[in-house]
Amino acid sequence: MTHKFDDIRHFNLRESIVVRKKIFADPVFNAAVNSLDLGVTIADLKKEANTYQSHYDFQCRVAGRFLRHVSDKTTSHVSYHGLENIDPNQTYLYIANHRDIIMDSAYLQLYFFNHHINTSKIAIGDNLVSTPLLLNIAKLNKMFLVKRGGTLHEKLLNSKHLSEYIHYGMTEEKESVWIAQRNGRTKDGIDITQQGLIKMLTYYDEKNDVIETLKKMHLTPVVTSYEYEPCDQLKARELALSEHEKYVKKPGEDFQSICKGILGYKGEVHIHIGKPIIDELDQIPSELRKNDKITAVCHLIDQQIYENYQLYATNYIAYDSLENSSEFSHFYNEKQKQDFLQYIDKQSIVDDVDAGKMKKYLLNIYANPVKTHYGKPLVKKEENDW
């Protein structure tokens, strides 16, 4: 049966049973699983997966097994906070800072797995699932597509379609939704909610006031903090090369970022679920213009993300190094400082960018969360229309 959202929705349960068989027969998938040493054979995993009767069972026991294994291998510690801010029987629109393509949303799902809470739907750009295998894995894990590209008219139609699907998922399917606060990962360490995203969320109900529409969605900021960003070198290089001209990605770069983000070292990681923004929306003056109301909503989201971002020694060292100060030296010791600066020096070596320029961008990735947390002046970040 044709469904209005067939072009972007994730697989339903009946479809997922068929797709699982395709994935377990895929040689690339088999090779990837075997290389990870999950402690289970493909045959046993396939046999086990055939018994699952829900999305949650499949995600928790297959995707969850993979994510826990990766997390154990690439982190020194993972901490969580904020479960008390949500009701497992309620639906929420989780608006998250965006540092990594896959792991930002994956860590939140792990938090849910650990507490036997239903997972959320997850928004992902259609440009990031460039092969049938990647697309199938994504849609098996309740990921739905955000269409990129097209003419201005096509983008507007796609945004309205996406808005309607998010609303449908929350109200009809009774499932929460995870979506990044911006189009594309933040590369400079400054987490800012794009106004276009908030505007898109209201398109399904343009007859009513935007604040009343947003209140129904239970907007809930989520922040993921990494002691070490596994893609920091890739991000700094892209920013450096885009100083004077638009950076054009080469084929395969997004896939490289996905792999690096999943398998790269992260040190400590912290996931914080903020408080749903509901009462605060009532404080936004009703006489404001629509765009000004949306700006105020973005500020409320950003404020929680800045406050709840977990700052590590790496962040404080980077700030003090850039500012040539010792303002935050009580948060780290000399060994931590030397180890981190040696790491930055190593990451600064790439073929096509001066090491000094790379070092500046790398330090800013780690220093800017200190600035946003303490309200210090920022250099305007790169913009990215939603």
| Pairwise CA distance, residues 378 & 191, whole Å | 12
- DSSP annotation of 68 reads H
**Structure confidence at residue 382 as a pLDDT band (50, 70, 90):** low
How many CA atoms lie within 13 Å of 4's alpha carbon, on the beta-carbon side? Answer: 10
Cα 31 → chain centroid: 26
- The sheet carrying 75-81 orders its strands as 75-81, 267-273, 219-226, 93-96, 177-180, 121-125, 143-146
Question: Residue 379: left (phi > 0), alpha (psi -120 to 50), or beta?
Answer: beta
The per-residue pLDDT for 380 is: 60
Which tens digits make up the pLDDT trace of 159-177? 999 999 999 999 999 999 9
- Dihedral, CA of residue 132, residue 256, residue 309 and residue 67, to nearest 10: 50
Q: What is the pLDDT of residues 209-230, one digit of tens each?
A: 999 999 999 999 999 999 999 9
Confidence (pLDDT) at 62? 84
Give the pLDDT confidence score for residue 386 in this predicted structure: 58
What pLDDT band is residue 1 in, cutting at 50, 70 and 90? very low
For the record, the structure tokens of 265 come out as 């070292």
Report whether pLDDT(37) > 90.
no
Per-residue buried b or exposed e for 64-86, using 16+ beta carbons within 10 Å of the residue's own CB = bbbbeebbeebbeebebebeeeb
Cβ-based burial of 118 (10 A; exposed 0-12, middle 13-18, buried ≥19) = middle
pLDDT band at 45 (very low <50, low <70, confident <90, very high): confident
Tens-place pLDDT, residues 12-32? 988 998 898 899 899 998 888
The structure tokens 């400054």 sit at 190
Token output for 2: 């044709």
Nearest residue to 379 (alpha-carbon basis) of 357, 362, 364, 363: 364
Sign of CA dihedral 310, 316, 317, 323: positive
Cα–Cα distances (Å) from 163 to 146, 197, 198, 371, 382, in that order, read 10, 10, 10, 33, 25
Q: What 3-state class would DSSP assign to 79? A: strand
Contact, 346 vs 233, CB < 8 A? no
The stretches of the chain forming alpha helices (DSSP H) are 13-24, 27-36, 42-49, 55-58, 64-74, 103-114, 132-140, 152-171, 195-201, 210-215, 232-241, 253-263, 290-308, 313-323, 334-347, 355-374
Q: Are 346 and 151 in contact (CB under 8 A)?
A: no
Give ∠ CA 363-367-368 in degrees, rounded to 5.
120
Is it the case that residue 265 has pLDDT exceeding 70?
yes
What's the pLDDT at 384?
57
> What are 320-339's pLDDT values in tens digits?
999 999 999 999 999 999 99
Predicted pLDDT of residue 101: 95
- pLDDT, residue 78, reads 97
pLDDT the model gives residue 81? 97
Angstrom CA distances, 360 to 233, 241, 327, 348, 355, stand at 11, 13, 19, 9, 9
Average pLDDT, the chain: 93
Lowest mean pLDDT among 45-54, 212-221, 230-239: 45-54
Reported as a single tens digit per residue, the pLDDT across 102-157 is 999 999 999 999 999 999 999 999 999 989 999 999 999 999 999 998 999 999 99
**pLDDT over threshold 60, residue 385:** no
pLDDT score at 63: 87
Compare 209 and 381 and report the one with higher pLDDT.
209
Lowest mean per-residue pLDDT among 48-57, 249-258, 358-367: 48-57
pLDDT tens per residue across span 362-377 = 999 999 999 999 999 8
Q: What is the pLDDT of residue 310?
A: 98
Q: What is the structure's pLDDT at 42?
A: 82
Contact 184, 247 (CB under 8 A): no
Q: What confidence tier does 2 reach under pLDDT thresholds 50, 70, 90?
A: low
C-alpha dihedral, 34 to 40 to 44 to 47, nearest 10°: -90
Q: What domains can be seen in the chain, in order of their start residue?
A: 77-313 (3.40.1130)
